[in-house]
Amino acid sequence: MNVKLSNQPLALIDANLTLEFITPKGFETHPHRAILTQAGFKAEGEQLCTLHEHRLMVCAIAEDATAELYRATMANAIKAAMGFNYATLKIAQYGTSMFAPMIEGAVLGSYRFEQYKSETKPSALTQIIFSTENHDGTTNDFDELEITLNQTLIIAKATNFVRDLVNQTPYDMTPQAMAVVADTLAEKNDLECTILDVSSLEAKKMNAMLAVGRASHNPPHLIHLTYKPANPQKIITLVGKGLTYDSGGLSLKAATSMVTMKMDKAGACAVMGIIKAVSELKLDIEVHAFIGAVENMIGGNAYKPDDVLRAKNGKTIEVRNTDAEGRLVLADVLGYAQESVKADYIFDFATLTGACMVALGPYTTGVMGHNQELKESFVNAAEKAGEYCGILPFNRHLKKLIKSDLADVCNVSSKPYGGAITAALFLDNFIDEDMKEKWVHFDIAGSAYTESAWDVHTYGGTGAGVRMTLKWLMEQCK
């Protein structure tokens, strides 16, 4: 979908369809009130009505509508418009603070993943044109709006890039394929790219990660992408869980639970999307993205419950469940990342626990760590960016539940409660002491994938973590 800005009044822009937001108060004096009323339009809720004879689509919007509501309403309108035979659509401004959410609604709402369809259904709608004119006839500065447009398009397209990766099947998006994607991205966006294969992982003593991938025909890879501006204000490390498929290993998942497990790579995809956008936004922040790309399968040489693994940092892990594999991969990748880069902050993204969905629901990312102020800064950034986050608190009693009598730590809790938090507390064992207050763990198990459309999201990957992290990073550059 091509989104552009025109420095003209709305009436002078040539387009096939006009999109208009109407508040209940605005509906009282609307020139088409009578025919809209006849069509059942009341300017309530999320109503949409199209007057084809006037080439006009109207959307109900609350008087005090937030950016979130403008974003979602725009997405619904674009989805509806894509079902018509109009090639172009135009819309006025509704305040400069609503411009970015409306762009995101258009780009994210129009997303379709049709790679595996034998027959695609292309939409006739190819262009959305925003006027610099407000709906009330006042005008805005073109240059300021253009900056907003360019930045928002980079962020929205990076989110769709992540969605495309998450939606790839496990047959197509193997650990090797993920390494190829990273290498291609590095070449296109002028990033540095280092890829470690099995022999390199063995040399680095990354035994936990190797154990998880041992039974797969597709060997594991560690990917390190780097963006280095001339004078970075900060150095940020991002770590992504990249389980390209998770069968559960010998602790085999139920058949119904295996469906959608292609999404277990969403953390890795998110960090690739973030560094892609950072490089295109040209932020003055050095970013390192580390990805543990692994496939967890079964076989005669699979790692087993009762195994004890020695992670890169030397700590030993008692395995009691091979389906708690993502934290084993992250343990080694976190260790390698901290050894490789002295960063100001380290953030990891992982579809880590179903328990996070139990705690927060399917739309919200779990935020965990030791630094309350840092966690709250992400919750605030997420709210501005249009994502949902909730903080799950650590406590010393939950930490006791991953104690092992055999090794330094157990990979699952001894009780079936607080599973998202105990998983994060497991990761805490692999965060260096001087990074404890600079680390945040994001559990995107619920927010990274959806099987029913909501807000700006269609079926499949959502790109969770991308917009909120970019908002946070951009605020660090102010």
Question: Distance between CA 203 and CA 210 in Å, rounded?
Answer: 11
The CATH number of the structural domain formed by 168-476 is 3.40.630.10
Q: Helix 142-167 crosses helix 99-109 at what angle (to 10 degrees)? A: 30
pLDDT value at residue 191: 98
Q: pLDDT per residue over 229-268, tens digit each?
A: 999 999 999 999 999 999 999 999 999 999 999 999 999 9
Distance CA 227, CA 120 (A): 36
Start-end of CATH 3.40.630.10 domains in the chain: 168-476
For the chain, percent of residues with pLDDT exceeding 70: 100
Using a pLDDT cut of 90, give the percent of the chain over it: 99
Q: How confident is the model at residue 471 (pLDDT cuts 50, 70, 90)?
A: very high
Q: Cβ atoms within 10 A of the Cβ of 370, count? A: 15
Model pLDDT for residues 393-407, shown as the tens digit of each residue: 999 999 999 999 999
Encode pLDDT of 265-287 as tens digits. Answer: 999 999 999 999 999 999 999 99
AA letter at 464: A
What average pLDDT score do residues 59-73 get?
Answer: 97
| Mean pLDDT along residues 344-367 | 98
In CATH terms, the fold of domain 2-140 is Leucine Aminopeptidase, subunit E; domain 1 (3.40.220)
| Catalytic annotation, pick one of 205, 228, 234, 253 | 253
pLDDT digits (tens, 9 = 90+) for 95-152: 999 999 999 999 999 999 999 999 998 999 999 999 999 999 999 999 999 999 999 9
**Residue ranges matching CATH 3.40.220.10 in the chain:** 2-140
Q: What is the pLDDT of residue 46?
A: 87
Type of residue numbered 72: A
Lookup: tokens for 302: 């699979």
Which of 265, 327, 467, 471 does the annotation list as catalytic?
327
Residue with tokens 């406590």: 395
Report the pLDDT averaged over residues 433-455: 97
- Model pLDDT, residue 478: 79
Residue 70, CA distances (Å) to 51, 150, 455 in order = 21, 19, 10
Residue in 327, 279, 311, 341 with CA at minimum distance from that of residue 441: 327
| pLDDT, mean of residues 405-418 | 97
Answer yes or no: 253 catalytic. yes
**Which amino acid is it at 174?**
T
How many residues are listed for the chain in this entry?
Answer: 478
- Active site (annotated) includes residue 55: no
The tokens of 230 are what? Answer: 């001339």
Residue 75: its pLDDT value, please? Answer: 98
Q: Which residues pair with 409 in a beta bridge?
A: 317
Query: Burial letters for 13-49: b for 16+ Cβ neighbours within 10 Å, e otherwise?
Result: bebbbbbbbbbeebbeebebeeebeeeebebeeebbb
DSSP 264: G
